[in-house]
Copies of this chain bind each other. A is one copy, B any other.
Amino acid sequence: VSAGRPRSARAAIVAIGDELLEGRIVDANSGWISARLAELGIKSDVFVVRGDDADALEGALRELCAAHALVIATGGLGPTLDDVTREAAARAAGVGLATCEEVLEGLRESYRLRGREMPASNVRQALLPEGAERMANRCGTAPGFRMPLGSALLAALPGPPHEMRDMFERELAPWLGTRFAQRSSFARARFLLAGLAESAFADRAGSWMERNASPRMGVTARFGVLEVTLHSEASDAERARALLEPRAREFRQRFGSAIFSEDEARLEFVVGRRLLELGLTVATAESCTGGLVAELLTEVPGISAAFREGWITYSDEAKVRRLGVPRELLEKHGAVSSEVARAMAEGAARESGAELALAVTGIAGPGGGSAAKPVGLVWIAVARRGVALAREMRNPPVDRASIRRYAAHAALDFLRTELELA
């Protein structure tokens, strides 16, 4: 391979296969490759998924190679007729296919070792576009290859993720390092926030979110949890960090205790680990979330040292019998009220002997709402040393499953903020 040094290190990633295009499997390869390329200082502009169609793929490779310095393809290297990457790459480059004797011998040998005859179809796997360099596959039979295509470099990797990753690390990453000297360096910070709506976040973030801001900010929302990234780019790593750090400091000041982590994306893991660190025990009492809060907390390995037990008191009767919620409270205020949420939390703490208890009661819908208590209304309470505090949340009228997720996150975040005061 002897392509000139490309003008800029921008990459395109192509995943190939009808099973992707028909929605039978999801392409996780492209994201993995993109993240690895970023670490090598190469930025990806686009992912493309194409089916097992040599003509369409030939056109796509030609277009992508005209617009990018590097094109990485995954899939379509198997032995069957619907594996078209070799043909498409050769045609796009205007070259023929040639049998690679080394590959063919390797294939024959691997069948000999298993005491089997090599199927004739396997010969296809030994074909490579003329001028391509073979990349060895240590985890499967299909070799990969890399070649110049126009002014770009094309690398073809297998589709199965473990084969692709192994070949990327062993055969491609070191080679890319020598071709694409890092033109720019990146620095990145990540913040996880809870207790703030995305739009309220946007208002407080203001101009930091503008498209051309440096560092650049990205936000993803997931049921009340926000993931915020800051990304800076400069000629070297030190400069990239120098661009990033003042903004990261300001960010911490501006958002303070809404930030629950700069590392772990899952609120329940942060809360669970904090309970374990503090040596505190917890119990849960849930109505509308139906066990979701306990389920999230008990995802944390080792949580049995902190999590005592949980109740799913779906009916009023269960709230009275299991948690000792006074009937008068239910009659006077209704099951979805500050009073009942607090009584549930206090009851769970008392019954379990746990130091903390978390309670959730609300209207997840689709039925059961009223003007005064609409679908989406949720009361959450935390009991500590026998005393409970409650918070109201009013969710947007989304579907039942989403309301439950929002409520569970709000409950965990309430517990988190209480633990901050520990």
Contacts and interface: CB of A to CB of B under 8 A. Distances in A.
Interface of A: 17-28, 30-35, 38, 44-54, 56, 60, 78-82, 84, 110, 113-116, 118-122, 138-141, 162, 166, 197-203, 205, 209-211, 217-221, 227, 229, 284, 286, 289-295, 297-299, 301-302, 304, 307-315, 318, 322, 352, 365-367, 374, 376, 394-402, 404
Contacts of A141: 396
Contacts of A60: 46
Contact of A50 (B46, B84, B203, B318): B46
A298 B312 contact: yes
Oligomeric state, in number of copies? 2
A399 B162 contact: yes
Contacts of A291: 284, 286, 290-295, 298, 310, 312
A209 B82 contact: yes
Given A23-B30, A138-B399, A292-B295, 4 more contacts: A23-B34, A78-B198, A166-B399, A312-B312
A308 B314 CA distance: 6
Given A310-B291, A310-B312, A81 B35 contact: no
Main secondary structure of the interface of A (DSSP, over half): mixed
A197 B313 CA distance: 34
B295 A322 contact: no
A46 B21 CA distance: 7
A186 to B, nearest CB: 11
A175 B38 CA distance: 41
Given A52-B218, A396-B140, A121 B311 contact: no
B45 A51 contact: yes
A340 B52 CA distance: 45
Given A20-B47, A162-B401, A314-B298, A80 B202 contact: yes
5 contacts: A22-B38, A47-B49, A119-B203, A121-B203, A308-B314
B294 A290 contact: yes
B49 A21 contact: no
The residue among A291, A308, A394, A401 with the most chain B CB atoms within 10 A of its own CB is: A291
Given A110-B397, A398-B140, A81 B221 contact: no
Contacts of A31: 20-27
Contacts of A295: 289-292, 295, 404
Contacts of A27: 26-27, 31, 47
